Amino acid sequence: MTQNRGSAYVAVLGASMLVAVIGMAALTAVRADRVEALSDEDIAQAKANAISAGELATGWITTTPTFRSAYAGMRSAPGLMNAGGFAMPMGTASIELVDNSDGALDNEDYDVVLVRSIGRSGTAQQMFDVVLQPKGIALPILSNAVTTPGRIQVDSGQLEVIGGAAVSGGSTGSVSGSQGSFVGGTIMPPTAVVNRYANLGVAISPGVTMERHVLTTGFSSFGAPSAEGVYVITTTNDLVIRSVRVEGTLVIRAPGRRVTLSGQLFMTPARPDFPALVIDCHTLELAYDSAFDGRLVALSEFAAGANFNPPGAPWGGNTNSTNFDVYPSDIRGLVYTTGRVEATDYSLIRGALIVAEPAGDSVKIAGRLRIIHDPGLVTDPPQWFTSAVTMSVQPGSWRQRVN
Amino acid sequence: MSTRRRATSRCFTIIEVVLSSLVVSVLLVASLNLVSRVRASEASMERRRDARRMAEGLLAIVAAQRFTEPDASGTRRTVIGTDESESLSVPASLDDVDDFAGAIWSPDDVAAWIEPPADRVGTWRIGISVGYVDPMRPSVSSGAVTTAKSVTVTVRRNTVVLESLSAVRSQGVAP
C-alpha cells in the first residue's frame, strides 16, 4: 500500500527532470551558438586586418626604395613595422618581411621579399602572405646597341647597328646605323657586376679552350648544372671558346687576358633578366661566324662532333642523343666586358654590347660586327644593369596562411 | 476489508493531485519561457549572422575598388566622396574607395551586391564611412591626404549596431 503512495510525485518529478535537462541543453546550445557567432565576427575582422596590414606593407615597400635597410630599425619603433604589432582601426596587426633566398633582407636588392601579415581581433588571429618581386629600371644605355666611353675604330669591314645607336667617345671608319656621343655623366654598370653574377654561378674549369660543351639550367657537360644557368670561368690564361651551346649566363674572369669567341657558337640567357655574357678581361675578340649577308652558317652538331641537346638540355623542347641538329650561331642578349673588343669575323649579337674600357680604341673592327638591338633589354633589364630596383606584387601570390 | 484497502491504494490522494498539478504548472510556465528565450536568441543570432555576411560582402566590394580616381586631366582626386556623374543613390556608379563615404543604404539598395537578410522585420541600414589614416599608424585618422584610407561598414537594425567591420586600403596593389 505504502509502496504505491507518492508514485504521482515520482512520475511528475521524473518528467520535470527530463524537461529541465532538455531546457538546460537548449540554453547551452544557444550560448555556444552565441559564442561561435561572436567568434566569427572576430575572425572576419582579424582577416580584414591581416589583408589590410599586408596591403599597407606592400604600399610602404613599393614606395620606399630604402625599405631593406630601414626595416631593421623600424622593428623597435612604434608603427607599421614594429615587431610587436600596431593598432588597426578595429583590432591589431603585425608584419614581418622575410627573405627566403638567403635570410638577409638588406644584402641584395634583387632578392624576393615575402610579406607575412597577421591580423587580430578579440581572440581571433588570421594570417596572409604576399610575395613582392624586384624589377629593375633599365640604365639608359640599354637602349643603345653599342655603348663604350672609348672610341670605335673600324679598320676594315663594318660595324652595323640596327634598332639602337652606337654610342661612343668617337668613331672612325664604316659604321652603319645611328651613332651617338658618350657624354660625361652617363651611368655605366658598376664593375662589381662581374663578381655579382659570379656569386650566383657554378664554377667550371674548361682549361685554355672551351669546346664542344653544353651549359643550360638543367645540364652542364662539366658536372652539376646551375639552376640559374650561370656558369663562372676564372682563369689566368687566355681563353678560346668555340662550338658551344650556352643557354644561360657565362661569366668569365680573366683579368688582363684575351678571351676569344671563335668558330660557331650559340649563347642565349636562361632568364630574361640576366645577360648572356659578362666578362672581365683585357680583350674580348669576337671571331665567331654568324649567318647574315647571305652567309649560311650554323652551329652544327655533326660538324662539331657533339650533341648540343642531350637529356636535360632541350632545344625547341626536344632532346636526343644524335648529332644531327643545327642551331643558330650568334649571341642573344646583353654582352658586357670590362676590357676592349675586337671583331674579326662575321659576328652577330641580337641584344646589346657594353664595352666599359674607357681609354683609346675600345672597339676595333677588322671584320663585320652586326648588332641588332633587343628592346626587351629596356623593358626587362638584366639585374644590376639598372638605375633602380622597384618592388611589385607577384600576381596571384596572396595566400591565406594556416598554422 | 482487504478489497477496500487495495482499491484505495490504487487511487491518488487529493493532495497528490494538487501537488502534481502545481509542479506541472510551474514546469509548463518555465518551459514556455525557455522556448521563447531560445527562439528569440536564435533569431538574434541569425540576424547577427546576416549582418556580418552583409558587412563582409560590402567591405569586400568597397575594398576591391581602386584607391582613387583621376580627374579628366589625370590628376589624382583627393577629396573624400563621390566624383562627377556618381551618386550614392546609384551604387553601381561608384568606382573608387572613397566614393562610398557617407553611404546609408537599405539592403534592397545593394541587393545587386549582397543578399538581403532573411528577417525583413525591422529597419535595416548599412552605413559606410571612409577617411584618410596615417599609413604608418593606421589607427590614427589623418586630416591630411595620405596613401591609406580606412573603410568601416556598419550594419544596424532598428538603430542597434549588429555588426561593424573595418579595413584599410593603401595605394599599393590590392589583393
pLDDT in tens, A236-290: 999 999 999 999 999 999 999 999 999 999 999 999 999 999 999 999 999 999 9
Cα-flanking dihedrals φ and ψ of residue A25, to 5°? -65, -40
Residue of A nearest to B6 (CA): A1
Give me chain B's average pLDDT, please. 86
Cα-flanking dihedrals φ and ψ of residue A256, to 5°? 80, 0
Q: How confident is the model at residue B166 (pLDDT cuts 50, 70, 90)?
A: very high
Count of other CB atoms within 10 angstroms of residue B174? 17
> Which of B17, B22, B27 to mutate to probe the A interface, most A CBs <10 Å?
B27
Question: How far apart are the C-alpha atoms of A168 and A152, rounded to whole Å?
Answer: 7
pLDDT of residue B13 exceeding 90, the answer is no
Residue of A nearest to B17 (CA): A8
Q: What is the mean pLDDT of residues A363-376?
A: 96
Cα-flanking dihedrals φ and ψ of residue A275, to 5°? -80, 175
Residue type, A362: S
User: What pLDDT shows up at residue B27?
Assistant: 83
Tell me which of A217-231, A300-314, B74-88, B96-110 is least confident: B74-88
Measuring CA to CA, which residue among A231, A182, A227 is closest to residue A359?
A: A182
| Beta bridge mates, B104 | B127
Q: pTM to 2 decimals? A: 0.75
Q: What is the mean pLDDT of residues B49-74?
A: 88
pLDDT of residue A229 exceeding 70, the answer is yes
What is the length of chain A? 403
Asked if the C-beta of B168 comes within 8 angstroms of chain A's C-beta atoms, the answer is: yes
User: What pLDDT shows up at residue A333?
Assistant: 97
Q: What is the mean pLDDT of residues A313-324?
A: 93
Question: How far apart are the C-alpha atoms of A310 and A324, rounded to whole Å?
Answer: 12
pLDDT of residue A1 exceeding 60, the answer is no
- Segment B62-73, tens digit of pLDDT: 988 988 887 767
User: What pLDDT shows up at residue B69?
Assistant: 81
E strands, A289-380, where?
299-300, 326-327, 330-337, 340-343, 346-355, 361-373
User: What pLDDT shows up at residue A182?
Assistant: 94
Maximum C-alpha span of chain A: 136
In chain A, count H helices and then E strands.
Answer: 5, 25
Q: How confident is the model at residue B17 (pLDDT cuts 50, 70, 90)?
A: confident
Question: How far apart are the C-alpha atoms of B172 and B175, rounded to whole Å?
Answer: 9
Between A7-63 and B14-63, two packed helices, what is the crossing angle to 10 degrees?
Answer: 10
Q: Is the ipTM of this complex over 0.85?
A: no
pLDDT of residue A37 exceeding 80, the answer is no
Nearest-5° angle of CA A144, CA A148, CA A149?
125
Residue A308: half-sphere exposure toward Cβ, Cα within 13 Å: 29
Measuring CA to CA, which residue among B97, B157, B159 is closest to residue B128?
A: B97
Residues of B (37-96) whose Cβ lies below 8 Å from A: 37-38, 41-42, 45, 48-49, 52, 55-56, 59, 63
Residues of chain B found within 8 Å of residue A93, distances taken between Cβ atoms? 138
Collect all residues with Cβ–Cβ distance below 8 Å to B94 and sequence separation of at least 6: B65, B82, B86, B88, B100
Residue of B nearest to A93 (CA): B138
Helix (H), strand (E) at residue A230: strand A230-234
Tell me which of A159-173, A266-280, A339-353, B30-44 is least confident: B30-44
Measuring CA to CA, which residue among A347, A377, A378, A350 is closest to residue A363?
A: A347
Q: Say yes or no for a CB contact (<8 Å) between B170 and A88.
A: no
| Cell numbers describing residue A50 | 591581416
| Cell numbers describing residue A85 | 604589432
Question: How far apart are the C-alpha atoms of B99 and B41, rounded to whole Å?
Answer: 37
Residue A152: half-sphere exposure toward Cβ, Cα within 13 Å: 29
Question: How far apart are the C-alpha atoms of A171 and B148, rounded to whole Å?
Answer: 54
User: What pLDDT shows up at residue A38?
Assistant: 74
Question: How far apart are the C-alpha atoms of A400 and A402, rounded to whole Å?
Answer: 7
Block residue for cell numbers 579628366: B72
Count of other CB atoms within 10 angstroms of residue A120? 21
Give me chain A's average pLDDT, please. 93
Cα-flanking dihedrals φ and ψ of residue A315, to 5°? -125, 120
Residues of chain A found within 8 Å of residue B25, distances taken between Cβ atoms? none
Q: What is the mean pLDDT of residues B105-120?
A: 91
Residue A115, classed as helix, strand or coil, is: strand
* Cα of A36 to nearest chain B Cα, Å: 10
User: What pLDDT shows up at residue B5?
Assistant: 53
